[in-house]
Structure 1
Amino acid sequence: MKQIKFSTEIYMGSDALSFLGTFENERICIVTDKFMVESGMIDYVISEINDSNAYEAFMDIVPDPTIENVVSGVEKLAEFKPTQIIGFGGGSAIDASKAIKLMGVELGLIEAAKLIIIPTTSGTGSEVTNFSVITNKKENLKYPLVDDRLQPEVAILDPRLVKSVPPVITADTGMDVLTHALEAYVSTEATVFSDALAEKAVELIFNYLERAYKNGEDMEAREQVHYASCLAGLAFNQASLGLCHGIAHTIGGKLHLAHGRINGVLLPSIVQYNGNESQRALERYALLAKKQGLSNSRGKMGVRNLINEITSLRSKLNMPSNFIEAGLTKEDVAPFISQISEQALLDPTTKTNPKAPTVEDVRKIVTNLF
């Protein structure tokens, strides 16, 4: 028996932030980073909070938030005692706010405050998932946390907040969306419900990501990519992910390359690997290629067409096709290749890959991209 559960309320559109105006007599802690404050982006949120509420900002979130970062946030929340927690920003702020709430509740330092997520990038889909990724800086490891208590109560999708995202981040985060959708689609836990979400996310990314990358003022494209990110998040929250994320988490922890960029490098190779090793994955990729209108998409030709579509989009986004183009060298990865290969198998997202990989499989996939 499988359970399908959609427990996050989603508010969407250019007036979605007005939902914050419904709060009365709340204690609101906004978890964000200094850029959101210094750039004035936080004003979008603060302007909607009426005077009956008290609010404070914890703005010390860093890229790839660490355990120490989370502990500092818990201390802040324990002191302020919020009834509402708003995670505002990109993936790091969102992951941190979720982990801060979970740790605070676990330690009995804060009550179970309502968690509201407002993303300012279109990539993680974390506003609708029970996932969070936290970094252990000492061990250079990224830990994917999976817990129902990480599930936000509310997600607010306002396309105005992603209008100023730079092209390179638009590309990286958009490729992350595509990876989420494709991995959910061939996951061993996929269902017809997650399939529908993943298929629509793939369609929107192929139709709108290049437009959003080339012209940030194209609000139709911005909005559709923002929604694609959420749809892909809903898909993988039901079906989980796969080997691409398992490897990306380990490489990101060791070599500190942007997560979406790592996925962009890996994704065609992962699709090829899964298509070669799993008949089910081959059939699923071919079906998806057909649904995207790619001609002659049967069997291995369908997989090849899908890979070509991914690499074509990646090229249009000026993204690297291998790790050398991404700025790494063989010498960078050599000391870590064994650890990356072993730890990728232990990552919880790898468990639902359509083919259970070996250490040698991972090593080949990674080293072939240098």
Structure 2
Amino acid sequence: MNIISQTTKIYSGEGAMESLRDIKNSKVLVMSDGFLVKNKMINMVLDNLDKTNTVEIFDDIKPDPPLSVVSKAMAKMIQIDAEYLIGFGGGSAIDTAKGTIYFLKQAGKLKKDLEFIAIPTTSGTGSEVTNVAVVTDEQSSVKHALVSDEILPTVAILDPKTTESLPPAIVANTGMDVLTHSLEAYVAKGANDFSDALAEKSGELVVKYLLSAYKNADDKVAKEKMHMASNLAGNAFNIAGLGVNHSIAHQLGGVYHIAHGLANAILLCEVIDFNSEDSKTKEKYAEYSRKIGLAEKNDCDCDAIYKLKLFIRNIMEEMNLPKNISQCGNVDLSKWKLEKFIMTANTMKDRCLPGNPRDIKDKDILEILEKIY
């Protein structure tokens, strides 16, 4: 039996930010990173909030949200007794807001009627429509996935204006994250017709628009389409789950602070090869390649998968992304030889791993890590 729940109301397209004008006479906490506050981009939110509201900003957001930052955000929420929580920014801002809700709920200190609004300014995580948040334990350098329907945003706002000024490097990293979400959801154990349709459309948009969004800062259509691709992929994996690609990427981010989308991209081809040893999964990878326009209908499965991997390698090269971990610049080989065993152990505990279509063991993860170095 499949259960499909669409909890989040989505406002999309130009002018979507104006939906905030319905909030009046309320206490509002906006969580956003300091850069978006300094460059005044946060005014996209503030200018659309009615003057009758009491608005405060929490901008102590860090990448891969540390638990210490989530703790500070929780204190701020309790202090102002917020009725609306707005997460404005990339995945880190939205996940900090989600972590705040998750732990306050656990402590019994969350308003029952809290409205949670997620406004992504990058096109990658899909966090605005998922029940997952990733936070980091600074002491162990381990990323932990928090999974609960209680952290699903009430509202998601997809306004293309929020992505117009994204630097090319961010477009590249987040775009590869979209592709990974789409692809992993398509082959995940929980995949069904609903998630497949979402993943296929997301992948099709990535193929058509990611490179243009990267190369042409003024291509508003490409930026908007990638924003939608991110949302579709988020919906897909919220239904279907993810897999070992994300489980290993979480460790690479936690230990070496490699951008999440980049870590996913470096892993993709090796994970495809591993999972394709399972015949049914191989067929799904091939079908995905055909559906998103990379392979022809009459291509055999091996050729279709080859074209999928070729696209991944070529677009990474076009967007100047490192091909392996050693090119990332901050990974020492002597430390890698030791830390790969710790990362393997933590990968086996990761919340995304059960969704992988093929059973995986420690030795398999070690082999993948060795291949990507």
User: What's the TM-score, normalizing by structure 1?
Assistant: 0.98
For residues 264 and 325 of structure 2, the distance between their equivalents in structure 1, rounded to whole angstroms, comes to 11
Aligned 8 A contact 1:90 1:121 in 2: yes
The residue aligned with 2:225 is: 224
Further displaced range: 103-112 or 80-89: 103-112
SS in structure 2 of the partner of residue 348 of structure 1? coil
Residue of structure 2 equivalent to 1:250: 251
Give distance in 1, aligned partners of 2:278 and 2:52: 57
**Do structure 1's residue 300 and structure 2's residue 302 form an aligned pair?**
yes
Cα offset, 1:254, TM superposition: 1.2
- The residue matched to 2:320 in structure 1 has which SS? coil
**Secondary structure, in 3 states, of the residue corresponding to 2:144?**
strand
**Alpha-carbon contact 2:86-2:117 (below 8 Å) kept:** yes
How far off its partner does 1:67 sit?
0.9
Which segments of 5 or more consecutive residues in structure 2 lack a partner in the other structure? none
Alignment of 1:289 onto 2:292: no
Q: Distance in 2 between matches of 1:202 and 1:45?
A: 30
1:40 aligns with 2:40: yes
Q: Return 5+ residue gaps in structure 1 as ranges.
A: none
State how 1:8-27 maps to structure 2 within 5 Å: 8-27=8-27
Contact 2:192 2:240 in 1 (8 A): yes
Does the alignment pair 1:344 with 2:347? yes
How far apart are the structure 1 equivalents of 2:91 and 2:341?
A: 28
Between the aligned partners of 2:355 and 2:275, the Cα distance in structure 1 is 12
Contact 1:178 1:205 in 2 (8 A): yes
What is the rounded CA distance, in whole Å, between the counterparts of 1:147 and 1:159 in structure 2?
28
- In the TM superposition, residue 110 of structure 1 has moved relative to its aligned partner by 3.0
Task: Tell me the CA shift for residue 360 of structure 1.
Answer: 0.7
Question: What is the letter of the counterpart of residue 65 of structure 1?
Answer: P
- Secondary structure in 2 matching 1:37: helix
Corresponding residue number in structure 2 for 1:29: 29
In structure 2, C-alpha distance between the alignment counterparts of 1:83 and 1:94, rounded to whole Å: 17
Q: Which amino acid aligns with 2:360?
A: P
Preserved CA contact (<8 Å) 1:297 1:303: no
Aligned length: 369
The alpha carbon displacement at 1:76 in A equals 0.5
| Alpha-carbon separation, structure 1, partners of 2:74 and 2:109 | 8
Residue 313 of structure 2 is aligned to residue 311 of structure 1: yes
Q: 2:359 aligns with which of 345, 356, 359?
A: 356
Query: Which letter maps to 1:172?
Result: N
Alignment of 1:133-212 (within 5 A): 133-212=134-213
| d(CA) in 2 for partners of 1:203, 1:220 | 15
State whether residues 206 and 313 of structure 1, in contact with CA within 8 Å, keep that contact through their aligned partners in structure 2: no
Q: C-alpha distance in 1, partners of 2:53/2:289? A: 50
Structure 1 stretch displaced more, 304-313 or 245-254: 304-313
Please give the secondary structure, in 1, of the residue aligned with 2:237. helix
Q: Identity over aligned residues, as a percent?
A: 40
Q: Distance in 1 between matches of 2:118 and 2:299?
A: 39
Q: What whole-Å deviation, never above 9, does each CA across 1:326-350 have from its counterpart, x for those lacking one? A: 2234224112111111211211111
Equivalent position of 2:53 in the other structure: 53
In the alignment, structure 1 residue 369 sits paired with structure 2 residue 372: yes
Instruction: Confirm or deny: 8 A CA contact 2:34 2:61 kept in the other structure.
Output: yes
Deviation at 1:103, TM superposition (A): 1.4
Is 1:330 the equivalent of 2:333?
Answer: yes
d(CA) in 2 for partners of 1:109, 1:290: 49
| Residue matched to 1:78 | 78
Using the TM superposition, give the Cα deviation of residue 292 of structure 1 relative to its aligned residue in structure 2, in angstroms. Answer: 2.8
User: Could you say which residue in structure 2 is the equivalent of 1:273?
Assistant: 274
Query: Given that residues 264 and 320 in structure 1 are in contact (C-alpha distance below 8 angstroms), is that contact kept between their aligned partners in structure 2?
Result: no
- Post-superposition Cα deviations, 1:79-111, rounded to whole Å, max 9, x if no partner, equal 100110000111110100011122122213331
- Residues 259-270 of structure 1 aligned to structure 2 (within 5 Å): 259-270=260-271
Distance 1:366 1:71 in 2: 33
Distance (Å, rounded) in 1 between the aligned partners of 2:238 and 2:110 = 26
SS in 2 for 1:346: coil
By how many angstroms is 1:222 displaced? Answer: 0.2
CA distance in 1, matches of 2:160, 2:247: 30
